[in-house]
Amino acid sequence: MNILFAASEAVPLAKTGGLADVAGALPKALNRRGIDARVVLPKYEEIPEALLESFEQVAHFNVYFGWRKQYCGLLKGSLDGVVYYLIDNEFYFKRRGLYGYGDDAERFVFFCFAVMEAVRYMDFHPSVVHCHDWQTGLIPFLLKTRYAYDPAWAYAKSVFTIHNLKYQGLFGIDLLKELLGTGDDMFTSDRLEFHGAASCMKGGLVFADKLTTVSGTYAEEIQTDYFGEGLDSLLRYRSGDLIGIVNGIDDELFDPMNDPALHSPYRDSLSRKRKNKVELQRELGLPQSETVPLIGIVSRLVEQKGFDLIAATFEELLQLEDAEYAILGAGEERYEHFFKEMATRYPDKVALRLGYDDRLARLIYAGSDLFAMPSKFEPCGLSQLLALRYRSVPIVRETGGLKDTIQAYDEYTGEGNGFSFANYNAHDYMYTVRRALSLYRNEEAWKQIVRNGSKEDYSWNRSARAYISVYSQLAAHRKEKEPWPVIL
């Protein structure tokens, strides 16, 4: 089975968020299971030159869309056993950063058309094209319309993965109409139109053969008005084609036994883990103690991540509990200012580092006893999985992937790998933190919680099996049996 991943970013080439982790790690896991999975993405200026050394140009051609005729180069290379294709156009992609430009609509419509054309020049015929988020949402649309009978795409099916429904790629209808070269009939509420705008995300939601999202709970949540971002009725209509699959983590890349960022390698030894805590405390200027509980936070400092709850209870918890905090992240100015003030007022309990530092992030996962993640919503979440991998116990709100991966500890049965609360309010969050700190002081209970977390398998191998099941359902049907009408 041949799977082509079309994504706007993928590690190790380009990354701004969790999408890149999925597009980089899932193909690797699929290849280990006998699938030929390859990745196509834009050739951004930010891609490190050292990684580009393994690429060679295999074709160049013109892409026609709207009234435009644009050059496109196609590069091919292999990294970590995965074949990558790069779409090369300096006008659109030789810029700082990946997104946020005034012509993003044109840039990613070009990318979608370029992917459709590039298949002609690949030594590879995809059975399934797997698209991710709004930047590639128009590929399923093109597959059902302009390329419906194109031999290069004969029998190919499409999967569209929603990583975050909040970002929909909304642009003016006239602009998208002109870029796609289509008429008014494509911009109705049951196709690409969305509240007077054109939605690239709907290209995937309406026209893809299968829909996935990054956790089972998030798949349920987005079918409700609260989480559905105005698309809940469409997602309920397509619920039979929608499945939630929890993301994985690369257990080779994130391995506390072989992580160069750590002072003391370990697997399940709490005594060795605590040596990393002391090293973290030393580096951050906190009092060094193996016994004082340390709560880690590695996150964007934004409301979505629950920082209004954290801020509302932070000082009271500092006064009530003997615990330390190690915080790494950047985001909204109000939260940055708040934590700066807390670090100044409580220098023996709070250490703050603004920005992102991969080495320090790994040391926080390894050195923390607890990891706070009380998100307002969280499609999947990666940090709680990394916390489990590094034997740090998560404190989460029961939403999206957090609900699917973290089970609240039950003192009576001994089951559970973390602490959780359901209602989004500061009182419940504070109660949960205090309960976690209380159990930390019970050595036998704490060992049991950590042991429970160590048994979980959230590697990409688990996720890959679920995706193979989705692909297999599609591969069993030839295009002549397509249940969706082909729209010309």
pLDDT tens profile 49-77: 999 999 999 999 999 999 999 999 999 99
Residue in this structure with the two tokens 């530092």, named with its chain if needed:
357
Identify whether 208 is part of a domain.
Answer: yes
Q: Please tell me whether residues 310 and 206 are part of one structural domain.
A: no
Is 401 found in the same domain as 302?
A: yes
Distance CA(370)–CA(178), nearest Å, equals 52
Work out how many domains the chain is built from and give that number: 2
Look at residue 80 and tell me if it is in a domain.
yes
Q: Kindly state whether residues 290 and 406 are assigned to the same domain.
A: yes
For residues 152 and 240, state if they share a domain.
yes
Q: Are residues 181 and 215 in the same domain?
A: yes
pLDDT of residue 480: 45
Residue 148 lies in a domain: yes
14 is in which domain, residue-wise?
2-248+462-481
d(CA 18, CA 380): 9
Quick one: 309 and 397 in the same domain?
A: yes
Q: Tell me: is residue 15 an annotated ligand-binding position.
A: yes
Contacts of 397 (CB under 8 A, 6+ apart): 306, 373, 374, 375, 376, 378, 420, 421, 422, 424, 429
> 407 CB contacts (<8 Å, ≥6 apart)?
415, 416, 417, 418, 420
List the chain pLDDT tens, one digit each, 488 residues: 999 999 999 999 999 888 998 999 999 999 999 999 999 999 999 999 999 999 999 999 999 999 999 999 999 999 999 999 999 999 999 999 999 999 999 999 999 999 999 999 999 999 999 999 999 999 999 999 999 999 999 899 999 999 999 999 999 999 999 999 999 999 999 999 999 999 999 999 999 999 999 999 999 999 999 999 999 999 999 999 999 999 999 888 899 999 999 999 999 999 999 999 999 999 999 999 999 999 999 999 999 999 999 999 999 999 999 999 999 999 999 999 999 999 999 999 999 999 989 999 999 999 999 999 999 999 999 999 999 999 999 999 999 999 999 999 999 999 999 999 999 999 999 999 999 999 999 999 999 999 999 998 899 999 999 999 999 999 766 544 454 445 54
Is residue 261 in some structural domain? no
In a domain, 263, yes or no: no
pLDDT at 278: 98
pLDDT of residue 46: 94
The reported pLDDT for the residue numbered 476 is 67
Taking the C-alpha atoms of residue 453 and residue 456, their distance in angstroms, rounded to an integer, is 6
Q: What's the pLDDT at 129?
A: 98
147 vs 24: CA distance, rounded Å: 27
Q: Assign residue 124 the CATH number of its domain.
A: 3.40.50.2000
